[in-house]
Structure 1
Amino acid sequence: MYPNRAGGAAAYARVGVESDVLSASPHRLITLLFEGADKAIRSAGVHMRDGNKAEKGKAISKALDIVNRGLLAALDRERGGELAERMALLYDYIARLLLKANLHDDAASLEEARHLLGELGSAWREIDTDGK
């Protein structure tokens, strides 16, 4: 018996993502977090437009986890000083936008959170410490 194609493709994708994460530098890991947040927020937007509250909530929860347990947790407040504190405030603001988007089906808040994370992710990719 052969596995179905969809299951095989999903397993292959998981292995690819796990391999990327396991071999990634700290800089690349943060880049992956920004990419994951963007994907989750885009998914939430689709579900919001479709009226699928359960899936919208799951996608926003994933984005919130990435912001709070990934990006915010990765800040080095001791070495980062004032910049790290400002980033923490910005991540807190983004998290509140995501919560507002979820509670009130607020597409504008969802898009603002996506835009801010996109700007931060773009700036992060510009640093490119991996290539130096």
Structure 2
Amino acid sequence: MFTARLSIDQYRQVGIATDVAQASPHQLIVLLFDGAIAALQQARHAIAHQDADTRRRATSKAMRIIDEGLKAAVSSRGDAALAANLNALYDHMVGRLFQANARGIEAPLAEVGQLLEQLRSAWVAITPRPLPQSQAVRA
């Protein structure tokens, strides 16, 4: 069983690495959202099963993805107010996750999960459309 589990985990890691290597910058943000949401789901499951170590690891992982991935990717080249608001929202999320981790409570995890789902949906909605083949050749 352990060998099969190890093989599955290694296969999953190869799949993730392939997804990242082939992703556009826009798709990389979606992958960050997916990773943070998955970590929060794992943390919520750990709380339900009173697994404090997994809860701490998963919550910390979500915090790092938000702070070092999503927040770091915010560009100030466009609307400065939008960038500031998004950074403030990410700071709020990290703060709520810190509370969840410190107290071992589920409500902040659910709150941040909903916020991430909404942001992910909005991000997916603005996915750049590929150029038609005739325009791509001229560019």
TM-score, L = length of structure 1: 0.92
Amino acid at match of 2:91: D
SS at match of 2:71: helix
TM alignment of 1:84-103, pairs within 5 A: 84-103=83-102
Question: In the alignment, does 2:29 pair up with 1:30?
Answer: yes
| Preserved CA contact (<8 Å) 1:41 1:60 | yes
Range that drifts further, 73-82 or 27-36: 73-82
Amino acid at match of 2:29: I
How far the C-alpha of 1:79 sits from its partner, in A, is: 3.3
Distance 1:130 1:55, change over 3 A: farther
Name the larger-Rg structure.
Answer: 2
Range that drifts further, 33-42 or 11-20: 11-20
Amino acid at match of 1:36: G
Q: In structure 2, what is the Cα distance between the partners aligned to 1:17 and 1:53?
A: 26
Range that drifts further, 102-111 or 62-71: 102-111
Q: In structure 1, what is the Cα distance between the partners aligned to 2:107 and 2:5?
A: 34
How far the C-alpha of 1:130 sits from its partner, in A, is: 4.9
Q: In structure 1, what is the Cα distance between the partners aligned to 2:50 and 2:89?
A: 29
Unmatched runs of 5 consecutive residues or more in structure 2: 132-139
| Preserved CA contact (<8 Å) 1:97 1:110 | yes
How far the C-alpha of 1:16 sits from its partner, in A, is: 0.9
Q: In structure 1, what is the Cα distance between the partners aligned to 2:122 and 2:9?
A: 31
Q: How many correspondences in the alignment?
A: 129
Aligned partner of 2:121 in structure 1 is 122
Structure with more helix by fraction = 1
Range that drifts further, 84-93 or 73-82: 73-82
